[in-house]
C-alpha cells in the first residue's frame, strides 16, 4: 500500500463516512456498505458472513436475508485515490462467476466521476467478461466510454489494475499474482483512455470493491442465483494503490448571500435580482415558476450570478472540499436532448449536460447586475460541472474545491461566480432552471469541509511523529 506523504493534507476529506461496520484490509480501513440502493438488486449487507478479512484476504459473498432475498457486498476505503497505479489481486475463477454477478473494482466520486473495472458475464449477449469503463459528463452514450474484452482463465488468480494520470488512464489485466507484472499472460490487450472525462485528483475518488447482482432489464444472465451452486463469493488477496488516507473534517453550511438572473439579447439591461418572476422568462419557457433563475443558450442566453459569504470560516483551517448545492427544476425530453447536438445524448433518461462555474473579478449588486454590466470572469479558474439526471426537483451537488480554496486562502478575492452553458449558445435551445434564495424549497447553498492546517514541511523533514498523530 502506497500512502502518499507528499500530497498537501488539506486535500484530505471523508464526508459522510458510514457509522456502521468496517474492516481493515491492505493497510486501509474500509467501510462496509449496508442498506438499499443501486446498482443491482438494491440490497447491501454488512453481515459478518457477507464481508470479512482473513489470511486469504478480503471476502465478498452474496448472502440471503430472512425472506430469502439476495443481498450484495461492497467495501469503500477511508482514503482518496491519487495519480498512480491501483492494483487489485483477485482470487476467483472468473469463468465460473455466476452470469448474474458483477465484480467491480473501481474509484468513485459520483456517477459522473468514476474509473471502473468490472468483471462479469452479465453485460452483453456474448458474455464478454472484461469491462473497463470511464464514467463522465461528456460520454457519448448511456454506457459511458468503455473497452470490452474477453478471456479464459488459467487458474483462479488474476490481477487487474489501472494507472491514473492527469490526462490518461491505462487499464491492464493479467493472469496470476506477482510483484512485477506480467507474470502470466495478459487478459485482453489493455486500453488507454485520454478523453475529457479523466477525473481530477481534487475530486477525491474513493477506492471501492463490490460484488453485485445484475437485475436490470438489459442484463444477460438468467436472473436466478442458484443456492446449490454457491457460495457466490470472491476473494481479493490485496489492493495496492496510490492513496491519501482521509482525515476528520468539520462541515460548514453556507446559504447563498445573493443571486440574480442574467439575460442577454434585448433584455441585456434588465435586472433579474431578488424575486425573479420575470414575465419575459415565463413567457419564453412557460414553466410558470416565479421563484426560479434560468440557464439557457440561444439568441437571448440566460446565466446566473451567485455569491456566498465565506467570512465565517476559520482562517487557520484548510479547505478539504467544497460542494455547491442547487435545487434544479428541469424537464427532460428527446426534444431537449436531441441526437446530433454535442454532446449527443439520445436517451432522455441519461440526459446529462455540462455547464461552467466561473469566478467574477469584481463586485456586483443583486439589485443592479444585468447582462450588460456584469463583471468580467476569470476563465483560468473555471470549473466544469454536470447537470443531474432527468426528473423534476432533484438537488444536485457539484465539487468546486479549487475555487473555494483560492477564496479562503486569499489567492483570489471572493466576488462570487457565474453559471453558464455558453458551449450551447449556438446550438439547439435548451433550458435549465433552479430554485433561488427568495423562493420556497431547496435554496442554493454551499458545504465547505475544513481540516486543521498540517504543514507539509513536518513530513518532508522526517517528523514522523506528526505523521503518526494525523494518521494513527
**3-state secondary structure labels for all residues of the chain:** CEECCCCCHHHCCCCCCCCCCEEEECCEEEEECCEECCCCCCEECCCCCCEEEECCEEEEECEECCCCCEEEEEEEECEEEEEEEEEEEEECCHHHCCCCEEEEEEEEEECCEEEEEEEECCCCCCCCCEEEEEECCCCCCCCCEEEEECCCCCCCEEEEEEEECCCCEEEEEEECCCCCCCCCCECCCCEEECCCCCCCHHHCCEEEEEEEECCCCCCCCCCCCCHHHCCCEEEEEEEEEEEEECCCCEEEEEEEEEEEEEECHHHCCCCEECCCCCHHHHHHHCCCCCCEEEEECCCCCEEEEEEECCCCCCCCEEEEEEEEEEEEECCCCCCCCCCCCCCCCCCHHHCCCEEEEEEECCCCCCCCCCCCCCCCECHHHCEEEECCCCCCCCEEEEECHHHHHHHHHCCCCCCCEEEECHHHCCCCCCCEEEECCCCCCCCCEEEEEEEECCCCHHHHCCCHHHHHHHCC
Condensed to tens digits (0 to 9), the pLDDT of residues 203-243 reads 889 999 999 999 888 888 888 888 888 899 999 999 999 99
Q: State pLDDT tens for residues 320-338.
A: 889 888 766 554 443 444 4
Residue ending a domain, choose from 188, 210, 245: 245
| Domain count for the chain | 2
Check whether residue 46 and residue 111 sit in a common domain: yes
Residues 335 and 398 in one domain: yes
Domain final position from 199, 225, 245? 245
Instruction: Say whether both 234 and 299 belong to one domain.
Output: no
Question: Is residue 305 one of the residues assigned to a domain?
Answer: yes
Residue 437: CB atoms within 10 A of its CB come to: 17
CATH for 155: 2.60.120.200
At residue 259, does pLDDT exceed 90?
no
What's the rounded Cα separation, in Å, for the pair 62 and 234? 9
Residues 98 and 180 in one domain: yes
Do the domain assignments include residue 130? yes
Q: All 3 cell numbers of residue 52?
A: 470479512
User: Mean pLDDT throughout 141-157?
Assistant: 81
pTM beyond cutoff 0.85: no
Query: Is residue 466 assigned to a domain?
Result: no
Give me the chain's average pLDDT, please. 78
Residue 471 lies inside a defined structural domain of this protein: no
40-64 confidence digits (pLDDT tens): 988 999 999 999 999 999 999 999 9
Question: What is residue 455's predicted lDDT score, i.e. its pLDDT?
Answer: 37
172 and 271, same structural domain? no
More confident residue, 74 or 9: 74
Q: How much is the pLDDT for 110?
A: 82
Answer yes or no: is 463 within a domain.
no
Residues 52 and 82 in one domain: yes
Query: What is the pLDDT, as a whole number, of residue 320?
Result: 87
Domain residue limits at 213:
2-245
Higher pLDDT among residues 321 and 4, named by residue:
321
More confident residue, 277 or 56: 56
In this predicted structure, the answer to whether residue 129 has a pLDDT above a threshold of 90 is yes
Give 442-465 pLDDT, tens digit per residue: 678 899 999 875 433 332 222 223
Residue 272 has a pLDDT of: 78
Predicted pLDDT at 183: 83
Last residue of a domain, one of 210, 245, 280: 245
352 and 377 fall within a common domain: yes
Residue 182 counted as domain residue: yes
Whether 459 is covered by a domain: the verdict is: no
Task: Choose between 200 and 282: higher pLDDT.
Answer: 200
User: Based on the domain organization, do 179 and 298 belong to the same domain?
Assistant: no
The dihedral built from the CA positions of residue 272, 275, 280 and 285, taken in this order, carries a sign that is: positive
Verify that 285 and 350 share a domain, yes or no. yes
105-to-36, 71, 87, 96, 160 alpha-carbon distances in Å? 20, 18, 9, 18, 8
Give residue-wise pLDDT tens across range 369-382.
999 999 999 988 88
Please state the rounded mean pLDDT for residues 387-404: 68
- Please give the residue that has the higher pLDDT: either 385 or 306: 306
Considering the domain architecture, whether residues 293 and 217 belong to the same structural domain is answered as no
Q: What is the pLDDT of residue 169?
A: 97
Res 328: pLDDT: 61
Among 6-10, 284-288, 317-321, 390-394, the range with the most confident prediction by mean pLDDT is: 317-321
Q: Is residue 460 part of a domain?
A: no
User: How do 417-420 and 354-359 pair as beta strands?
Assistant: antiparallel
- Does 291 lie in the same domain as 232? no
225 & 275 share domain = no
More reliable by pLDDT, 279 or 236 = 236
Q: Please write the tens of the pLDDT for every residue from 52-104.
A: 999 999 999 999 988 889 999 999 999 999 999 999 999 999 999 999 999 99
**Cα end-to-end span (Å), the chain:** 15
Amino acid at each position: 500500500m502506497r500512502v502518499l506523504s507528499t500530497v498537501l493534507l488539506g486535500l484530505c476529506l471523508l464526508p459522510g463516512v458510514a457509522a456502521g461496520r468496517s474492516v481493515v484490509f491492505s493497510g486501509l480501513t474500509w467501510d462496509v456498505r449496508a442498506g438499499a440502493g443501486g446498482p443491482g438488486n438494491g440490497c447491501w449487507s454488512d453481515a459478518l458472513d457477507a464481508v470479512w478479512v482473513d489470511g486469504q484476504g478480503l471476502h465478498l459473498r452474496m448472502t440471503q436475508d430472512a425472506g430469502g432475498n439476495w443481498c450484495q457486498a461492497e467495501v469503500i476505503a477511508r482514503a482518496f485515490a491519487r495519480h498512480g497505479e491501483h492494483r487489485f489481486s483477485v482470487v476467483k475463477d472468473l469463468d465460473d462467476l455466476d452470469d448474474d454477478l458483477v465484480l467491480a473494482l473501481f474509484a468513485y466520486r459520483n456517477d459522473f466521476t468514476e474509473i471502473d473495472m468490472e468483471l462479469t458475464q452479465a453485460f452483453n449477449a456474448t458474455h464478454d467478461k472484461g469491462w473497463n469503463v470511464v464514467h463522465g459528463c461528456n460520454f457519448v452514450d448511456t454506457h459511458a466510454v468503455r473497452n470490452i474484452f474477453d478471456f479464459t482463465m488459467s487458474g483462479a488468480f488474476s490481477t487487474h489494475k489501472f494507472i491514473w494520470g492527469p490526462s490518461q488512464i491505462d487499464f491492464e489485466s493479467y493472469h496470476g499474482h506477482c510483484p512485477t507484472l506480467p507474470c502470466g499472460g495478459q487478459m485482453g490487450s489493455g486500453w488507454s483512455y485520454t478523453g475529457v472525462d479523466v477525473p481530477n485528483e481534487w475530486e477525491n475518488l474513493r477506492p471501492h470493491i463490490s460484488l453485485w447482482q445484475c437485475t436490470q432489464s438489459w442484463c444477460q444472465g438468467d436472473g436466478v442465483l442458484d443456492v446449490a451452486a454457491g457460495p457466490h463469493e470472491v476473494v481479493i488477496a490485496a489492493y495496492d494503490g496510490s492513496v491519501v488516507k482521509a482525515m476528520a473534517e468539520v462541515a460548514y453550511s453556507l446559504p447563498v448571500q445573493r443571486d440574480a438572473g442574467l439575460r442577454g439579447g434585448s433584455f441585456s439591461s434588465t435586472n433579474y435580482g431578488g424575486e425573479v418572476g420575470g414575465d419575459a422568462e415565463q413567457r419564453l419557457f412557460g414553466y410558470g415558476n416565479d421563484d426560479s433563475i434560468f440557464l439557457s443558450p440561444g439568441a437571448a442566453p440566460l446565466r446566473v450570478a451567485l455569491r456566498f459569504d465565506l467570512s465565517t470560516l476559520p482562517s487557520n483551517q484548510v479547505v478539504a472540499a467544497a460542494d455547491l448545492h442547487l435545487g434544479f427544476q428541469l424537464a427532460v425530453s428527446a426534444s431537449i436532448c436531441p441526437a446530433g447536438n454535442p454532446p449527443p445524448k439520445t436517451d432522455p433518461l441519461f440526459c446529462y449536460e455540462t455547464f461552467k462555474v466561473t469566478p467574477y473579478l469584481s463586485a456586483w449588486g443583486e439589485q443592479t447586475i444585468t447582462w450588460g454590466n456584469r463583471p468580467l470572469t476569470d476563465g483560468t479558474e473555471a470549473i466544469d460541472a454536470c447537470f443531474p439526471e432527468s426528473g423534476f426537483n432533484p438537488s444536485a451537488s457539484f465539487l468546486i474545491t479549487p475555487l473555494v480554496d483560492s477564496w479562503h486562502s486569499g489567492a483570489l478575492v471572493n466576488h462570487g461566480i457565474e453559471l453558464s452553458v455558453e458551449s450551447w449558445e449556438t446550438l439547439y435551445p435548451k433550458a435549465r432552471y433552479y430554485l433561488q434564495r427568495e423562493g420556497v424549497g431547496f435554496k442554493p447553498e454551499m458545504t465547505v469541509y475544513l481540516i486543521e492546517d498540517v504543514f507539509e514541511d513536518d513530513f518532508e523533514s522526517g517528523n514522523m511523529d506528526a505523521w503518526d498523530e494525523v494518521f494513527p
